[in-house]
């Protein structure tokens, strides 16, 4: 549980094919708030219970997927310290200047063994619509849509996830909360820098740099049901759910945005403490681990990535 160092997931930049359709999906349906549009056309969004300026960035492109996931660190000194640790570990670090994203300080970036770009940063402006901090009400303005409270985590697909595991635990001080073992090696890892069940996860896949889903936290199982009602009302394409995971114990629905990027709404999940043992799953129980009620996987969940 990090009190210093890497604190939490901070932002994710997603490629979409139609920006107007994506805005309607993420704002009207998932319930994010529009922060603004950058000079380069990127759309910045946030959930109602997030303090920082933005957490979701949508970029119009010819292919769907994820450009980058950013983690917030505790201080500027931590940013310098992690740069040395990352280069000592063996990855090349580049620098993104302050202001490349509105309201965000300098960032360092690197490509991890699975082919995904990760960035670290220490500062982002406080949102104008942040949760109240003086005599606070429960929310600043009543939530809408699926009532997403925050950007919670992402699941990424790619090769060399054993190297990802070594990198995140050795260079960034993440903990391995849960894993899936097979006779051919580790199939999946769930990593945390906090006391959540996971902040980022990886599944072994032949193609590098693939994006499985971005997850939005909801307050309760009742809100997951409410999200299902919205998906049914507006004909949103559902992958699976409402259901529950064995891995992480979270309640979930997987569905798709108009560009084919998979989304998740997620509630619950266990609390992780640094002295917890690693929870392990074998291939014979993987279906129950992923979808606890159905006890089997569906083809789309395994094969559809962007």
Backbone φ, ψ for residue 200 (5° rounding): -155, 150
Q: Which one, of 262, 252, 20, 26, lies nearest residue 145 by Cα?
A: 26
Active-site annotation holds for 219: no
Q: Residue 40, CB half-sphere, CA atoms under 13 Å: how many?
A: 11
- Told to judge if 226 belongs to the known catalytic residues of this protein, a careful annotator would answer no
DSSP string, 39-82: TTS-EEEE-TT--BS-SEEEEE-SS-EEEEEEEEES-HHHHHHH
- Of 121, 178, 264, 272, which one is the catalytic site residue? 264
Is residue 254 flagged as an active site residue?
A: yes
> Residues 205, 212, 217, 245: which is the catalytic one?
245
Which is the catalytic residue, given 44, 121, 157, 254? 254
Q: Is 198 a catalytic residue?
A: yes
Name the active-site residue from 25, 54, 116, 153: 153
Helices (H) and strands (E) in the chain, counts: 6, 17
Short-list 164, 173, 148, CA closest to 73: 173
Catalytic residue among 25, 198, 212, 272: 198
Active site residue 153: yes
- Tokens 């200047």 sit at which residue? 97
Whether 78 and 171 have beta carbons less than 8 Å apart is answered as: no
Q: Regarding beta strands 6-16 and 33-37, do their DSSP bridges make them parallel or antiparallel, or are they unpaired? A: unpaired
Selected catalytic residue, list 212, 213, 217, 272: 213
Is residue 130 flagged as an active site residue? no
Residues designated catalytic = 153, 198, 213, 245, 254, 264
């Amino acid at each position: 549980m990090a009190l210093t160092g890497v604190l939490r997931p901070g932002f994710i930049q997603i490629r979409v094919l139609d920006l107007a359709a994506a805005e309607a999906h993420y704002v009207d349906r998932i319930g994010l708030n529009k922060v603004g549009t950058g000079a380069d056309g990127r759309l910045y969004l946030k959930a109602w219970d997030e303090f920082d300026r933005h957490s979701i960035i949508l970029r119009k492109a010819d292919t769907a997927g994820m450009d980058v996931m950013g983690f917030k660190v505790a201080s500027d000194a931590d940013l310098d310290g992690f740069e040395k640790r990352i280069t000592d570990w063996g990855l090349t670090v580049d620098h993104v200047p302050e202001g490349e994203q509105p309201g965000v300080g300098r960032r360092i970036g690197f490509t991890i063994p699975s082919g995904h770009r990760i960035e670290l940063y220490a500062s982002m402006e406080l949102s104008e619509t942040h949760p109240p901090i003086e005599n606070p009400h429960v929310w600043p303005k009543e939530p809408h849509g699926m009532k997403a409270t925050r950007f919670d985590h992402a699941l990424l697909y790619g090769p060399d996830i054993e190297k990802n595991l070594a990198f995140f635990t050795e260079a960034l001080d993440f903990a391995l909360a849960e894993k899936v073992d097979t006779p051919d090696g580790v199939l999946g890892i769930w990593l945390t820098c906090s006391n959540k069940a996971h902040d980022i996860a990886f599944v072994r896949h032949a193609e590098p740099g693939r994006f499985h889903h971005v997850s939005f936290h909801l307050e309760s199982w009742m809100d997951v049901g409410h999200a299902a009602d919205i998906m049914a009302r507006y004909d949103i394409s559902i992958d699976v759910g409402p259901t529950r995971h064995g891995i992480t114990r979270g309640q979930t629905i997987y569905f798709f945005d108009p560009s084919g990027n998979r989304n998740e709404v997620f509630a619950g999940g266990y609390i992780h403490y640094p002295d917890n043992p690693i929870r392990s799953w074998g291939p014979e129980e993987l279906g129950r681990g992923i979808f606890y009620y159905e006890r089997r996987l569906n083809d789309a969940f395994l094969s559809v990535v962007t």
